[in-house]
């Protein structure tokens, strides 16, 4: 089983960018840890990051052609990118939305996710462990396990 993990704008700055909000680990460290957990779970992840909306959309389209599921931290695009929302709606694979911080405890503009209605779930506020929770939730969903 192969899963795609997409990270949006500014996530390449993790570890340096507002560590009091986003933590001290880099995206590379978080993805390396997630890859280990994925291998232990019998799956493979393909982790990518881009600051460009169109590239994320292209990768979402690519995910539909050979991946079982998608984990997406769209960063600020979460709150206003109808193009990413439509890309997710236009592919037939399950996606989980991840946020390192609790977007509902921050500025009011962050309280709205335009992509959440086209995902199977959202994980927010658990820091880098949110990716692990998303992986476990997505695998649970894909295996058709009971809730």
CATH code assigned at 16? 3.40.50.9100
Instruction: Quickly list DSSP for 19-67.
Output: HHHH-S--HHHHHHHHHHHHHHTT-EEEEEE-S-HHHHHHHHHHHTTT-
Tell whether 131 is covered by a domain: yes
Tell whether 47 is covered by a domain: yes
Q: Can you tell me the mean pLDDT for 105-132?
A: 86
Computed over every residue of the chain, the mean pLDDT equals: 91
In what helix (H) or strand (E) does residue 85 lie, and over which residues does it extend? helix 82-89
What does the pLDDT read at residue 21?
Answer: 73
Tell whether 42 is covered by a domain: yes
What does the pLDDT read at residue 147?
Answer: 55
Catalytic (active site) residue 79: no
Tell whether 38 is covered by a domain: yes
Q: How far is CA 130 from the centre of its chain?
A: 9
What does the pLDDT read at residue 16?
Answer: 87
What are the φ/ψ torsions at residue 46 (nearest 5 degrees)?
-120, 100
Residues 43-89: pLDDT tens digits?
999 999 999 999 999 999 999 999 999 999 999 899 889 999 999 99
**Residue, of 20 and 60, whose pLDDT is higher:** 60
Tell whether 24 is covered by a domain: yes
Catalytic residue (choose from 67, 77, 99, 131): 99
Tell whether 136 is covered by a domain: yes
Tell whether 6 is covered by a domain: yes
What does the pLDDT read at residue 82?
Answer: 97
What does the pLDDT read at residue 111?
Answer: 67
Catalytic residue (choose from 20, 22, 140, 141): 22
Structural domain for 137, as ranges: 2-142
Number of compact structural domains in the chain:
1
Q: What is the pTM of this model?
A: 0.91
Catalytic (active site) residue 99: yes
C-alpha–C-alpha distance, residues 143 and 3, integer Å: 13
Q: Label residue 99 left, alpha or beta by phi (over 0 means left) and psi (-120 to 50 means alpha).
A: beta
Tell whether 147 is covered by a domain: no
């Amino acid at each position: 089983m192969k899963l795609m993990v997409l990270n949006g704008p500014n996530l390449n700055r993790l570890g340096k960018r507002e560590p009091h909000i986003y933590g001290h680990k880099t995206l590379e460290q978080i993805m390396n840890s997630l890859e280990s957990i994925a291998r232990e779970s019998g799956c493979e992840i393909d982790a990518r990051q881009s600051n460009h909306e169109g590239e994320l959309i292209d990768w979402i389209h690519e995910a539909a052609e050979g991946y079982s599921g998608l984990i997406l931290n769209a960063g600020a695009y979460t709150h206003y990118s109808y193009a990413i929302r439509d890309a997710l709606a236009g592919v037939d694979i399950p996606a989980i939305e991840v946020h390192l911080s609790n977007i509902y405890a921050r500025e009011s503009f962050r309280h709205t996710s335009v992509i959440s209605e086209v995902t199977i779930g959202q994980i927010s506020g658990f820091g880098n462990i949110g990716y692990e929770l998303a992986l476990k939730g997505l695998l649970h969903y894909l295996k058709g396990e009971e809730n």
